[in-house]
Structure 1
Amino acid sequence: MGVLKAIHRAASVWTSPASPEDYLQIINPLASARQLRGVVTEVRRHGARSATISFRPGRGWEPHLAGQWARVGVEINGVRQWRSYSLSAAQGHDPEITVTAIGRVSRHLVEHTKTADVLFLAPPQGEFILPTGPRPLLMITAGSGITPVMSMLRTLIPRRPDADVVLIHSARNEDDALFIDELRTMDRQYAGLTVVIHFTGNNGRIDFSNASAVETVCPDWRSRKAYVCGPTELLDDTEKLWANAGLPQGLQVERFAPALLAPSDTDGGTITFAKSDKEAVCDGSTPILEVGEEAGVIMPSGCRMGICRTCLTPLVSGQVRDLRTGEIHADEGELIQTCITAAVGPVHLEV
């Protein structure tokens, strides 16, 4: 290690004022000691609104487990924006994300990403993963909630002849159904997978809070370990059903957004971002993280759900409300989670 440091110091004499890494990145865009990166190897379009982006990560990436997610960063108008995306590739393969063009960053990825582009990355994380031992499984997904489950199916089904998996996937229509051709092929090819695709545009939604409705598509749902990913309503309904059945431990959910209280019409105010010398007027229901990003402030962020605490920012003055619990935070110097708090009157932040 001492030899490497000596070589780095010697090289710095010739590259100053830039660092040796800055010159190395010209040759290898993944070479960075400061920021994990990945180079895009393929972009596959799924209609006009979705795309799968495959990438080869650089040094520091940890191989993902099926079902995990990772933070992905891109620069938009000179500001680096981060979002969390489920990894859809099978475990043991180079990672990929499947993105639907909803929101600024997702639209940018779908509409502008091309082969050889460089993405900023953080290592995979998340506990929405397959069980360690064989057991019957039930996967319930809707919309883009199929993404982490697709990684699970691609990992488990081809490798385990003893697999017993039922997938119930809801989509608005056939054009909006991600991976539909692959799912149908897997359903035909593997006896251990049963795929039920439900189009809500024609048939309405399945009431997953109703035991009889679930039994219609999966009679033995109570005996299966269940994984659910999709819109908040789906997650709330399934959690209610499994709790009423006395089986809360048999259900594992993956939320793309935190469960929030009803929006406030009375709160809000002006947020001053001290270090960035910017101000923004906001309502009482928009997270401070989103307000700052819209104003062009480089905000620390991670899961954007109040879990990872990457977004912690010192509160200089003012009051903020936790959008999940309604709790007010007003202590000077307190570290607040900007992804799940909103302003209550004028707020000054140390960012």
Structure 2
Amino acid sequence: MTAALSGSARRLRSLATRLTTPLLPDDYLTLINPLWSARELRGRIVSVTPEAEDAATIVVEPGWGWEFEHAAGQYIGIGVQIDGRFVWRSYSLTTPPSRDGHRLVITVRAMPDGFASQHLVNGVTPGTVVRLAPPAGEFVLPDPLPAKALFLSAGSGITPIMAMLRSLDRRPDATDGADLVVVHSAPDADRALFADELDLLGRRHPSWRVVVRHTRTEGHLLFPREGNPRAGRAPESSPRGTLEELVPDWRDRQTWACGPGGMLDEAEKAWADAGVADALHLERFAASFSAGAEGGTITFARSGRTVEADGATTVLQAGEQAGIPMPFGCRMGICHTCVAPLSSGGVRDLRDGSEHRVADTDQSTRTVQTCVTAAAGDCTVDL
């Protein structure tokens, strides 16, 4: 994946190319400093600090060409070399922009089947050089902040919300008297990220109310169902809590929610049933696929390989399974890093069922997102 360099970096690269031809500028730059690259954005891991029992906070110092500002709640792409190849993932930044802009902080939870996350939490060491992609994402706060706000999270979904809370904590002029409620769910105390800091923020700001729930003893948060007075209410003998009980005025609040797909689906339905869907802002860590495709033979033109894929396998997954170097970033159709030219045939977007097709008589190509599309019959991708 190649991230866009700043204008000044491109001009320097052009000059360096003329001076060093036939060698590339990177042949010289990386000998001086591995963080200097005219072709891609790089960074060096400064520290890896354990968080909870299966997570770590990673601080990255970006190298030459990083001139990007980010907003609290956005994410970056990070590429780490594992077994000789770079594996890319996207992670939310957990802090607002630093004053000098030279440090990026992410908190990663090691998923049981997470190839990259396991390595970042348990295998990567300070000094490791990584590749970077610029900040992206629309899960951000407005300015000014609404008078009443609700933050809902579960598991590692607290990471972008933590950035928001830290940003607000730095702006007492904007948050004095702001009515904020934070409801975070974690399996237990050992797996609750930022629990101490959340408690501190709640005590520091009298108008903030912070609730940390442990689902192994209290159960998962239940969402109300409009039109059914009993739905969403926990039995008296059950330890499970409801949003209605914790935040009775949730319908009146602008809400930012991030967490497992099931929780977000329930929240989306509750807000829609209440007629306040516009007040709910979601951040999903995975694409939601509701559509399907018929599948077919995918030909990767440059690699000279063909793959038989069913209608539930994305073009990106099919290429990776065939050992083809595939560009990708967020893997959920947001960052557009995975785009590739479709030169024949068609693919279907698994999010909404829309089809993208190149006619046999059409000599042009069209660009598709490989991470959210699957083969709709035989097709050829220029990778």
TM-score by length of 1: 0.88
Q: Does 1:8 align with 2:16?
A: yes
Partners of 1:308 and 1:71 lie apart in 2 by: 9
Q: Does 1:57 align with 2:62?
A: yes
Moved more, 312-321 or 189-198: 312-321
Aligned with 2:282 (options 249, 253, 256): 253
**Which residue of the partner structure matches residue 278 of structure 1?**
305
Verify: 1:19 aligned to 2:33, yes or no.
Answer: no
Give SS of 2:67's match. coil
What is residue 124 of structure 1 aligned with on the other side?
Answer: 135
For 1:209 and 1:17, locate their aligned partners in 2 and report how far apart those are by CA, in whole Å. Answer: 66
* CA 276–76 in structure 1, closer or farther in 2 if over 3 Å, else same: farther
5 Å-filtered alignment, 1:1-351, equals 8=16, 11-12=19-20, 17-58=22-63, 59-92=65-98, 94-102=103-111, 103-134=114-145, 135-160=147-172, 162=176, 163-210=178-225, 213-261=242-290, 267-332=294-359, 333-351=365-383
**Structure 2 contact 25–38 (Cα < 8 Å) conserved:** no
The structure-2 alpha-carbon separation of the partners of 1:107 and 1:284, relative to structure 1 and needing over 3 Å to count, comes to: farther
Question: Aligned-pair distance for 1:270?
Answer: 4.2
The answer to whether the 8 Å contact 2:225/2:273 transfers is: no
Compared with structure 1, are the counterparts of its residues 190 and 115 closer, same or farther at alpha carbon in structure 2 (3 Å cutoff)? Answer: same
Unaligned regions of 5+ residues in structure 1, if any? none
Tell me, in whole angstroms, the C-alpha distance in 1 between the residues paired with 2:141 and 2:52: 30
Question: Which has the higher mean CA deviation after the structures are superposed, 278-287 or 237-246?
Answer: 278-287
Deviations 1:181-215, CA, capped at 9 Å, x for gaps: 22223223332322111122222211224476322
The 1:164–1:22 alpha-carbon spacing in structure 2 relative to 1, beyond 3 Å, is: farther
Instruction: Between 184-193 and 26-35, report the one with greater CA deviation.
Output: 184-193
Deviation at residue 89 of structure 1 after TM alignment: 1.5
Q: CA deviation at 1:48?
A: 4.9
Over the residues paired in the alignment, what is the CA RMSD in angstroms? 2.6
Q: Which residue type is aligned with residue 166 of structure 2?
A: R
Q: Which runs of 5+ in 2 are unaligned?
A: 1-7, 227-231, 233-241, 360-364
For residue 123 of structure 1, give the secondary structure of its aligned residue in structure 2.
Answer: strand
Shift of 1:249: 2.1
* Aligned-pair identity (%): 46
How far did 1:151 drift? 0.5
Q: CA deviation at 1:318?
A: 4.1
Q: Which moved more, 1:202-211 or 1:170-179?
A: 202-211
Query: Is 2:338–2:369's contact at 8 Å kept on the other side of the alignment?
Result: yes
1:139: how far off? Answer: 0.1
Q: In structure 1, the residue corresponding to 2:134 is in which secondary structure? A: coil
The total of aligned residue pairs comes to 345
Any idea what SS the aligned residue of 1:122 has?
A: strand
Conservation of the 8 A alpha-carbon contact between 1:79 and 1:296: no
Q: CA offsets per residue over residues 218-246 of structure 1, 9 Å max, x none?
A: 12222221101112222222222222222
